[in-house]
Structure 1
């Protein structure tokens, strides 16, 4: 009898320990699944496989060396056999200088391919595209502004109910979505003292749920950053995270104005703004080099400074354009990048 009770106690203890173990490790498994989803949507350069492609040929096309195909394979764990890749599949391109060099060129042994087959095969995937802001010479005329949050919460986040005051003759529509933003202090060019524009800093998205005679109610559906009373609204425009790479403007020279977060030092994956826009033929999907160029006096007698060869230490991708500015993503940085850094058409 005592042995039976002892066995029952051991069994009960085993059940309790098993349940406790499941409680402890269940969140870990859930996090792993969520993390897997995140990995699937990471930002990066991608190429869509075409008929006849091999990793050997693609390595030569993008990186001037067929012998780098094992690196290309290791970057794409979904490829079980490197000798079998199929048209329509996408592969991630580890970023060196291959993507800039490829745009606008055939660059492969299969140069006879029709242009239609080559079109839209190389692109950059940037999932948080909706949260990037922009600099505009004249600020956007807002559709409304948040003047209160339900329960007077200090922190406004997804799911919260907010009260919207319309601006001017703007009419809000129930069921419509609006981007929430705030404008920052107008930016002045330090050299010329001319107005560059006003930064529009995106904070989230709301959906109008009810229209009252003098105000509207809205639900916060996305919160990118801290949403505050006083934040403004503009119509929400869905943007595709898939950015087709296009040929860059030749002979373009400009500067990085500042980073979106006003950081003194910028690096990989930081969002920034440049002083060139659609008026300068800058377009979505173009890439540009970040460089510096030193001067050196070769002859002390003549006191003449000679410009040395440009040194490229980074690259950027255009995500959004306004007339005189553009929003860009820094895709490569070999050293710290600062506001005022020079940019130009891709240097080979």
Structure 2
């Protein structure tokens, strides 16, 4: 039975906070033969009520020292080691007509990037001063103001022939919502290129184009840190790291599943690729009016709005509302980027992010 990453996120349970033992799913199989298209996340869902604990199901097993190296055709058997459930690898090899072992293809991933690659973006968040020091496009061989793939552009720097470059458009500057400190400068990848001629003004041929590039766009070497992992290993974000959505990649008011958002936490906060957050919206404040009736936010008058700000009497804050989940796929020093993997309500800027809880189950 084939499953894919997104379906898994929509159908599986979430983290049971502080649970140390694995809970097996009712009616779980005793064994499973790995199929092409499976991921470790998917397979764990056949056995566990709580697939967030899949690393424990696999990692403590000496027969699966590297759980990424599980291949289609392998048989996994459920056993108990010291009272804890574990998956044991038993190879299930098919032979071809001439008795040779048939090729099983590559090992299965934790989460298959190819399934969500079309929805991810290669934008970055960097130090604004670093951006100001980058060389830029001055013009191009074409008289057009807009440059696309196969065009040659001129860069105001002496660059080595053959060097691969990324072309970036400057985007928004992000600030800490409490301190107003600068978190970083958004730069939007527009194209890639290769230096074809060096000099005081270097020539760069555009090899790919995500959008049109123009004079003034910045140029930076392609670095490994700007690239994403080939797969993701989902895990619950740390309890001690509450975060917030500080921007939406599309720069629109509301987004949903498969859209990209920016978070106000990064490497310095121990955020890692694969961290999953539950998304919540602050509960509405209800004011009791002079007639003793509850008044929702949209129906309040000026006096009731003032009362909500300065008085605790007759003002009630409703419980926070669960909106969905997101997974971090790129981490910077003070910020990170994440993809929304499930949502019950639209996600907005300032929505708060916390460790997933066992109550975050509806609609998934």
Query: Would you say same fold, with TM above 0.5?
Result: yes
Does residue 204 of the first structure (1) align with residue 226 of the second (2)? no
Matched position secondary structure for 1:266:
coil
Q: Name the structure 1 match of 2:240.
A: 251
Q: Secondary structure at the match of 1:242?
A: coil
Which one of the candidate residues 14, 38, 46 is aligned to 1:91? 38
Runs of 5+ unmatched residues, structure 1: 1-41, 48-60, 70-82
Q: 1:136 aligns with which of 122, 126, 131?
A: 126
How many residue pairs match? The answer is 271
- State the match for 1:228 in structure 2: 214
Residues of 2 paired with 1:65 and 1:223: CA distance?
A: 50
Higher share in helix: 1
- The question of whether the paired residues in 1 share the 8 Å contact of 2:5 and 2:39 is answered with no
Distance (whole Å) between structure 1 residues aligned to residue 337 and residue 23 of structure 2: 26
Higher deviation after alignment, 305-314 or 324-333 = 305-314
Provide, for residues 238-287 of structure 1, a one-character-per-residue CA deviation record: whole Å limited to 9, x for no partner.
52452321432223211101112211111122121100111111011111
Q: Which has the larger radius of gyration?
A: 1
SS in 2 for 1:268: coil
Q: Does residue 122 in structure 1 map to residue 110 in structure 2? A: yes
CA separation of 1:94 and 1:244: change in aligned 2, threshold 3 A: closer
Indicate the SS of the match to 1:103.
Answer: helix
> For the structure 1 residues 100 and 344, does the alpha-carbon distance in structure 2 shift closer, same or farther, using more than 3 Å as the test?
farther
Contact 1:274-1:327 at 8 Å conserved across structures:
yes
Q: CA 1:157–1:192 in structure 2 vs 1: closer, same or farther (change >3 Å)? A: same
What is the alpha-carbon distance in structure 1 between the residues aligned to residue 317 and residue 204 of structure 2?
Answer: 57
Q: Matched residues in 2 for 1:64 and 1:131: separation?
A: 36
Provide the C-alpha distance between the structure 2 equivalents of 1:112 and 1:92, rounded to a whole number of angstroms. Answer: 18
2:61 counterpart residue number: 113
Structure-2-length-normalised TM-score: 0.62
Question: RMSD in angstroms over aligned alpha carbons?
Answer: 4.0
**How much has 1:294 moved relative to structure 2?**
1.8
**Counterpart check, 1:267 vs 2:253:** no
- Post-superposition offset of 1:84: 8.1
Residue 320 of structure 1: how far off its partner (Å): 1.4
Alpha-carbon spacing, 1:217–1:63, altered in 2? closer, same or farther (3 Å): farther
**Is there any run of 5+ residues in structure 2 with no aligned partner, and where?**
10-21, 70-108, 293-311, 359-364
